Structure 1
Amino acid sequence: MGKAKKKVSYISVPSQIISSLSSSSLHSLLVSPKKSASSPSSKTLPFFSCRTLASFFLLFILLGLLTISSHLDRLSPHPCNSVPPDRLEPPVMDGDRGSWAGEFWEQPDGMGYRPCLEFSDEYHDASAALVSDRRKYLLVVVSGGMNQQRNQIVDAVVIARILGASLVVPILQVNVIWDDESEFSDIFDLDHFKKVLAEEVHIVSSLPSTHIMTRPAVERRTPLHVSAEWIRSRYLKRINREGVLLLRGLDSRLSKDLPSDLQKLRCKVAFHALKFAPALAELGTKIANRMHSKGPYLALHLRMEKDVWVRTGCLPGLSYEFDKMVSDERKRRPELLTARSNMSYHERKLSGLCPLNAQEVTRLLKALGATKSTRIYWAGGEPLGGKQALQPLMDEFPHFYNKEDLALPGELESYAGRASFMAAVDHIVSERSDVFMASHGGNMGRAIQGQRAYAGHKKFITPNKRQMLPYFVNSSNIPASEFNRVMKELHRDSLGQPELRTSKAGRDVTKYPVPECMCR
C-alpha cells in the first residue's frame, strides 16, 4: 500500500503487517457478520473466514509488539519522563559490593520517632512578656573549641529564658591553645540565630545605650549541674538589681535534667537556631558533595592528637619514643589528666577510657562490614605521629581523605590557623555522611550523635570499647568469622537506633533527643 514504516518507541512494526490489516478485515473482527436472508441457515458461512483468522493473528502480533515496546519505553531514560536523580536507587558496583551496597550502609528505621517540639500553653503564654522585657541583659563568655562553645551557647539561651533576660550575642573567648580569635558571626549565622529564637528569647548584638555603663554582676564559675530553681535563686535578684549579669566558666554547668519546655528549647537552639555562617556552610557542603560524588561514605572522627593522649592518661602505642613523650608531658603537667589518676594505663585501656588507635579502628570497621573500597572522610586534628599513626587505616582503606585532600587550591587558605573554622568544616562533612563513628567520645561526637538522631536516626557507630578490647587482645585464638560475629553482636544496639535519654540519669537532650524532642 506504499506506507512508510511506522516506529513505535524502539520497535519498528513491518509495513506488511500494517497493510495486511485492511479496513474490511478489521471490520470483520469488530462487527458480527449478518446472515443472508436468501440463504438457508444450513448454508451459513463460518463466522471466521480464513482471511479474518489471518488478520486476527496479525493483530495479536501487533498488540504484543506494542506491549513490549511500552515496557522498554518505561525502562529506558527519556528526557520528558525520567526519574529525578535523587529518587534513583544507588547502583551496586560489580565485584566489591562494599562501595554502594551491603549491611554496613544499612540505615536504622528510627522506630518511627520524628522531631516534635510542642511547647506547653504556659510556656507560650509567658513568652510575649519575657521577650518584650528590656530591663535586664545576660552577657556570656564561652570558651574552648567550637563544639564546646556550641554547648555553652545552648545553655546561655536557656539561662536567659529562665531569668527572663535579653541575651547579648555570646562572646567567644580567644582560644589560647589554637590562638583563634573568631567571633560568633564568623562561625554561626547570626541573623538566623536571632530569627529562629525570636519568640523564645530577645537577642541583641550588644548592650543598649541604657545599660552600656552598667557595672554587671559577675559569676566566674557556676557550680556543676545547677537546676533552673538554683539559677533563679542565685541570679534573679542580682540581675534585677544591676540590670546586667556576666557569666563565665559556663561549660556544661547547667543540669541535663530540666523541665520539659526547657529541654525542648535546648533542642530548638542546637538543631534549628545554631546554623553555620553561609560561607562556612557552603565550603563544608562542597567538600561533603565531593565525598558523595562516588557513593556513600563513612565519617570517622579520630581523636589521636597529643593533648588527647595526655588528658586521657593513655598511650598511642606507636613506638617507645611517642609513648615516652606522652608520659613525660603528663608528669610535667599532672593537672591535665581529666580523671581517675589512680588507674594505670592498662586499667584505663580495658575500662574503655582510651581512644582507639588506627589499628583498632581498622579492625573494628572491617569486622562491622567495611571493605577495601569503603570511602572514609577522617575528621580531627593532626594525630600524634602524623601519617605513621594513620598508616593501618590508609593501608586497608585507600579511599581515605580529609578536608585538605578534597579542597581545591586556595579554598582553605583564608581559614588557615583558624581552628574553629576547620572544626566547623569537619562538623558539616561528618553530619552529612552516611555512617559516622568516633574513636573516642568528646563534644563533636556528642553533637553529631544528637543531630543524626534528630535528622532521622542516620547510622551512628559507638565503639563498645569496654567489651570489645578483650577480644582484640585474644583475637589470634579466635577465627575471623567468629571475631566478626562477636563485633557485630556487641554493636547491634549502638548502630543508630534511638536510645531514650530517660534510660540513664544526667544525659544531655542534645545528644539523646528522645523522648523530649521527638515523638512517634
Structure 2
Amino acid sequence: MAKPKNNAKKLSYISVPSQIISSLSSSSLQSLLLSPKKSSKNRLYSFFTTYRSPRFWFFTLFLFGLFGMMKLGFNVDPLVPFPSSYPCFTGQSPVLSSDRSSKLRTTIASSGENGGKMEALTDLSLPRVSKSNGYSEDEQKSEFWKQPDGLGYKPCLSFSREYKKTSGGIVKNRRKYLMVVVSGGMNQQRNQIVDAVVIARILGAALVVPVLQVNVIWGDESEFSDIFDLEHFKKVLADDVRIVSSLPSTHIMTRPVEEKRTPLHASPNWIRSRYLKRINREGVLLLRGLDSRLSNDLPSDLQKLRCKVAFHALRFAPPILELGNKLADRMRSKGPYLALHLRMEKDVWVRTGCLPGLSHEYDEMISNERKQRPELLTARSNMTYHDRKLAGLCPLNALEVTRLLKALGAPKNARIYWAGGQPLGGKEALDPLFREFPDLYNKEDLALPGELEPFANRASFMAAIDYIVSEKSDVFMPSHGGNMGHALQGQRAYAGHKKYITPNKRQMLPHFLNSSLPEAEFNSIIKSLHRESLGQPELRIGKAGRDVTKYPIPECMCNNSRGHS
C-alpha cells in the first residue's frame, strides 16, 4: 500500500543563543529557517541557486561564528597538567621580616590531604609550566638540574653458590645469638646496624634486634621498631641472617659475654678467631660501640650483604615514611628541588675546631667552649682554625654555600630544602642563602599544623624525615662530611647515580678568599673544580678502605646484564 503524500510544509529547528536571535530581524530568521520542499528534478538547479544566494553565505558564517563561540566558552586542554599535585596549593618564597623570625603565611582551603586546610606560603605568581613534565621552561633549560651519566650501572646482588649453600644452616641455627647496642645519631646507628648483620653472618649466629642506646645529647629513647620497619627488616634478610625480636627462653638466663674492645676495621678472620669459640661456648655474645669496627675491605658476598641491609632491609617505619614522602611531594609540586644538609649547629663548630664567622661574639663563644672541653675536638688539635679551613676540614657557612651554588649555576628560583638541626645564631645565620634563594624551606615550613607533633623531641625521627626528603631530591649537597652525607651518597648512587655535589673545599676556598677575582672567572673556576664531583659512577676499589655503602661499584652494581639478579 502506497504511503499518502504529505504536501504540508515541514519546519526545521536550529538551536542558537538568544543573543544571536535578538540581533536578527524576523524576516531574516524566517528566510533562514523556512524552506519549501523541492522536487528531485530541480535539485541541481536549486543547489546552484542556493550557492549563489547571500543567505547561504550568511548562514555559513553564522555556523562558523557559533562554533567559535562554543570553542572559546569551553576551552579545556586535557593535555595541560596542574602545575601542582595539589591543585589548590600555592607556594611562594618565604617573605622574611627584619628579624628573620617569621614568614608571611596564609591558610587556604584545600581538597588535598586529610580534607582539611593547608597552610602554605603565599604565592602571587607561578612560573610558566611546560606540558611535558610540569616543570617551568626556565627550569628545564637550566644545566644545574642535569643528571650525571650513570654509564648503565644498575644494582646487582647475585650471591655466590657457596654463600647460598651455607645460608640454610645459618638461618636454622638456634644455639648462637648476637646482641648489639648501637650508639650515636640515627645515621651513625644505621651504619652500625649494617655491620651488626654482617658480623652475625660471619659468626653464623642469629641477630637479636639491635638496641638503640639513649642519646645523652638529645635524650631520644626511640627503639628500633620506632624508626625502622622491623617486619620488613626480618623478611628481606630471611635468607641471610635470622633476626629475632628477643632471646628465646633457653637463653634468657644466660649471662652474655660482653666485648668492648673490638679494634677499628677488624677483618672477618679476626672476628672469628676472637669471638667464635666464646659464642659457641656461651651461646650469647654482646657487642657495643660498633662504629667503624668492621673492615671496609670484605669478601664480595659480605659486601653485597652490606648493600642489601643498607639499601633494601633498613626501611623507615610507615609513619615516618608517610610523612617524609608527603614533604618531598610538597617540595616537588612545583618542579625540581635541591636538598642541602647544613652542618651549622653549635656542637659541629665546637667539634671541628672551626669558627662560624657570624660575628666576633659567636666566634668567641665557640673558642671558649672548646677550651673548656678540649675532649670534644675530633682530631688534629695542633692545627689553627685558618689551617683547618684551608685543609677543607671546616663546614661551609651559609655565605660559602650560597657562592658555591651560584657558581655552579643554581637558578635563583631554585626550590631548596635544608636538612639539619638549628644553626648557631638561629635562622639569621641563613640570611645569605635566603637573600639569593628565597624559596628555602625545611620540614617545619612544609609540615601542616600538627603533623610534626608526634615526632617532637625525637631527634632520630626528625633525622629520618630529613633523610627521606633529601634522598628524593633532584640534587643533593652537604656542607660538610658526615654519616648522613655518606649514606646518601651511596643511596643516590644505588638509585641510578642521582646528582650529588661534593664540595671541593680544599681547592676552592683559596679562590673564595681572592676578592679581586671577577665573578665570571670565579664561576668558571668553581665549575671546573666540580666537573667530576657531581655523583658520577666511581669504583670503590679506586682507593683502599672505601665503604661499599658509599661506593657500591663494583660489588653491588654492574653495567652488564649477566650480573643482574
TM range (shorter): 0.7 to 0.9
Which amino acid counterpart does residue 132 of structure 2 have in structure 1?
E
d(CA) in 1 for partners of 2:333, 2:168: 47
Structure 1 position 481 matched with structure 2 position 524:
no
RMSD: 2.8
Matched with 2:325 is 285
AA partner of residue 230 (structure 2): L
Cα gap change, 1:77/1:337 in structure 2, threshold over 3 Å: closer, same or farther?
same
Give 2:203's aligned residue: 163
Instruction: Tell whether 2:549 aligns with 1:506.
Output: no
1:414 to 447, 451, 454: 454
What SS does the corresponding residue of 2:175 show, helix, strand or coil? coil
Residue 4 of structure 1: CA displacement?
12
Distance (Å, rounded) in 1 between the aligned partners of 2:132 and 2:163: 44
Q: Determine helix, strand or coil for the equivalent of 1:477.
A: coil
Check the 8 A contact 1:221/1:250 in 2, yes or no.
Answer: no
Give yes or no for contact 1:92–1:101 (8 Å, CA) kept in 2: no
Instruction: Determine helix, strand or coil for the equivalent of 1:89.
Output: coil
Question: 2: distance between equivalents of 1:3 and 1:354?
Answer: 87
Q: How does 1:97-112 map to 2 (within 5 A)?
A: 97-98=138-139, 100-112=140-152
Stretches of structure 2 that go unaligned for 5 or more consecutive residues are 1-10, 15-75, 86-129, 560-565
Partner secondary structure for residue 417 of structure 2: strand
Alignment of 1:495 onto 2:534 = yes
Cα deviation for residue 141 of structure 1 reads 0.2
Partner of 2:17: none
Quote the Cα distance in structure 1 between the aligned partners of 2:77 and 2:267: 61
Return closer, same or farther for 1:105/1:217 CA change in 2, 3 Å cut-off: same
Match of 1:89? 132
Matches within 5 A, 1:419-434: 419-434=459-474
Which consecutive residues of structure 1, in runs of 5 or more, have no partner in the other structure?
6-75
CA offsets 1:164-192 (integer angstroms, 9 cap, x no match)? 00000000000110000000000000000
Tell whether the 8 Å contact from 2:197 to 2:207 is kept in structure 1 after alignment: yes
Residue 297 of structure 1 is matched in structure 2 by: 337
The residue aligned with 1:464 is 504
Distance 2:170 2:223 in 1: 27
Conserved in 2, the CA contact under 8 Å of 1:123 and 1:261? Answer: yes
For residues 178-234 of structure 1, the C-alpha deviation after alignment (integer angstroms, 9 at most, x for no partner) is 000000000000000000000000000000000000011101231101000001000
Partner of 1:241: 281
Kindly report which structure 2 residues correspond to 1:305-316, keeping only aligned pairs within 5 A, or say none: 305-316=345-356
Structure 1 residue 89: deviation in Å? 3.1
Contact 1:169 1:206 in 2 (8 A): yes
Displacement of 1:93: 3.1
Match of 2:425 among 368, 379, 385: 385
Q: Distance in 1 between matches of 2:507 and 2:175?
A: 55
Partner of 1:215: 255
Q: Contact 1:355/1:439 (CA < 8 Å) preserved in 2? A: yes
Task: Report what 1:66 is aligned to.
Answer: none
Cα distance, 1:92–1:380 mapped onto 2, change above 3 Å: closer
CA distance in 1, matches of 2:312, 2:187: 16
Large movers: runs of 4+ above 4 Å: 2-5, 76-79, 85-88
CA deviation profile, 1:435-484 (whole Å, cap 9, x unmatched) = 0000000000001110000001000000000000000000x222211111
Amino acid at match of 2:523: N
Between the aligned partners of 2:373 and 2:262, the Cα distance in structure 1 is 25
Aligned partner (choices 183, 188, 202) of residue 242 of structure 2: 202
Shift in Å at residue 88 of structure 1? 6.6
Residue of structure 1 equivalent to 2:556:
517
Distance across 2 between alignment mates of 1:270 and 1:332: 38
Identity fraction in percent: 76
In structure 1, C-alpha distance between the alignment counterparts of 2:472 and 2:158, rounded to whole Å: 26
Q: CA deviation at 1:90?
A: 2.7
TM-score by length of 1: 0.83
Change (3 A) 1:3 1:342: farther
Summarize the Cα distance change of 1:3–1:431 in structure 2 as closer, same or farther, 3 Å threshold.
Answer: farther
Question: Structure 1, residues 481-519: CA drift from partner, whole Å, max 9, x if none?
Answer: 111111111001011101111111111000010111000
The superposition leaves residues 42-95 of structure 1 with CA deviations (integer Å, 9 ceiling, x where unpaired) of xxxxxxxxxxxxxxxxxxxxxxxxxxxxxxxxxx9559x99xx9997335536x
What is the CA–CA distance in structure 2 between the aligned matches of 1:233 and 1:165, rounded to whole Å?
A: 15
- Alpha-carbon distance change, 288 to 91 in structure 1, aligned in 2, over 3 angstroms: closer
1:3 to partner: Cα distance: 12
1:223 and 1:148 mapped to 2: Cα distance? 17
Matched, 1:225 2:268: no
With the length of structure 2 as denominator, give the TM-score of the two structures: 0.77
Instruction: Tell me the residue number matched to 2:475.
Output: 435
Alignment of 1:175-194 (within 5 A): 175-194=215-234
